[in-house]
Amino acid sequence: MNKYSIVIHGGAGTLVKGLMTPEKEEEYKTALSAALEKGYAILENNGSAMEAIESAVNYLEDSPLFNAGKGSVFTNDGTHEMDAAIMDGKTLDAGAVSLITGIKNPISLARDIMEKTDHVFLAGEGAMRFANSLGYNIETPDYFYDEHRYQQWQNIKDSDKFQLDHSMKKEGKFGTVGAVACDKNGNIAAATSTGGMTNKRWGRVGDSPMIGSGTYANNKTCAVSCTGSGEYFIRGVVAYDVSCLMEYKGMSLQEAASEVINKRVLEIGGDGGLIAVDADGNIAMPFNTEGMYRGCKNSNGLNKVLIYRN
């Protein structure tokens, strides 16, 4: 049997020890652990990597602590526009959605796009019509409301600035969520879900829903979910770059993931991190920021939830 594993993230950024209260830190760790356990239990019970990552991401989307689903950041118009993508490494099937509002679990809509349409990517009004046709509940804006994120938006809403989610010492922390997993059959999958960036305008879409940039999976190489300054992750085609370094240069998962985050992304001015697995169940979680909410668990007994660098 293959070693099986799951890795999750809840965003990267200026997470410095001492700037967060112990209570807040505990809240984040508890939520990350619970999401990790949900996904891992599915793998343990012979479920697929796809099922495991959807379940873990659903949990994080339902938590107001993270910038995805409930707790998504505010756009310049004072609304919530969410993006998500999911990819199956065995079949290379993928589903992505952007600019949606009122959907409690955008990752599930992305999966429905993958499984129930001939398309990969639906956006805005059309994506909402598709959701309606499947009978999705449309939540009212107060479901997504979070006081902290409202204040973040109030601070910059009259400026041209758009910013990454909540920060401790300066503005620059990303709250996007993601999961990658490798199941008992050696199949891998990746999922990413986000509210994007505070005060974003004009239908701005980040890297998260873009296959190859924020999300990618291929059994031959790796499954990757990113978090960070989306505009740079799009230009760096970051998730696919990790896969390419493995496929064309023969790098290990660790080497490729680290090369991309600690070198290539930095060189073009981007900051953030990623989580990744390969079909042998190996794990990588590099980031070039002070911290990244992250957790990993595998069938060899590894079980960790971390926030800071050390």
Residues that bind ligand ASP (CB under 6 A): 11, 67, 164-165, 174-176, 194, 196-197, 206-208, 214, 227-228, 230, 233
Shortest Cβ 23–ligand ASP spacing (Å): 23
Report which of 203, 267, 259, 276 is spatially closest to residue 232, judged by C-alpha positions: 267
Please give the backbone phi and psi of residue 182, each rounded to the nearest 5 degrees, phi first: -125, 125
Whichever of 196 and 212 has its CB closer to ligand ASP, that residue is: 196
Element (H, E) at 98: strand 94-100
In the structure encoding, which two tokens stand for residue 253, read together? 């998962």
With contact defined as beta carbons under 8 Å apart, do 10 and 294 qualify? yes
Least distance to ligand ASP, CB of residue 133, Å: 27
User: Minimum distance between the CB of residue 67 and ligand ASP, rounded to whole angstroms?
Assistant: 6
For ligand ASP, the closer CB: 42 or 265: 265
Cα 300 to Cα 36, 133, 219, distances in angstroms: 15, 43, 20
Which single residue brings its beta carbon nearest to ligand ASP? 230
By beta-carbon proximity to ligand ASP, the closer residue of 225 and 298 is 225
**Nearest-approach distance from CB 221 to ligand ASP, in angstroms:** 21
Give the nearer residue to ligand ASP in terms of CB position, either 176 or 288.
176
Q: How far apart are CA 82 and CA 193, in angstroms?
A: 8
Rounded Cα distance between 233 and 237, Å, is: 6
Catalytic residue among 14, 75, 101, 176: 176
176 is catalytic: yes
How far, in Å, CA of 242 to CA of 278, rounded?
11
Q: Which of 32, 3, 7 is nearest to 296 (CA)?
A: 7
Q: Are strands 177-182 and 121-123 parallel, antiparallel or unpaired?
A: unpaired
Residue 192 beta carbon to ligand ASP: minimum distance, rounded to whole angstroms: 8
In the complex, the smallest distance separating the C-beta of residue 41 from ligand ASP, rounded to whole angstroms, is: 26
SS3 168: coil
* 88 or 207: CB nearest ligand ASP: 207
Q: Which of 185, 207, 224, 214 is nearest to 53 (CA)?
A: 224
Compute how many other C-beta atoms are within 10 angstroms of the C-beta atom of residue 18: 8
Q: Which string of DSSP letters, residue by residue, matches 260-310?
A: IIIIIHHHTT--EEEEEE-TT--EE--BSSSEEEEEEEETTS-EEEEEE--
Q: Which amino acid is at 40?
A: Y
Q: Which is nearer to ligand ASP, 105 or 176 (CB)?
A: 176
List the catalytic residues. Answer: 176
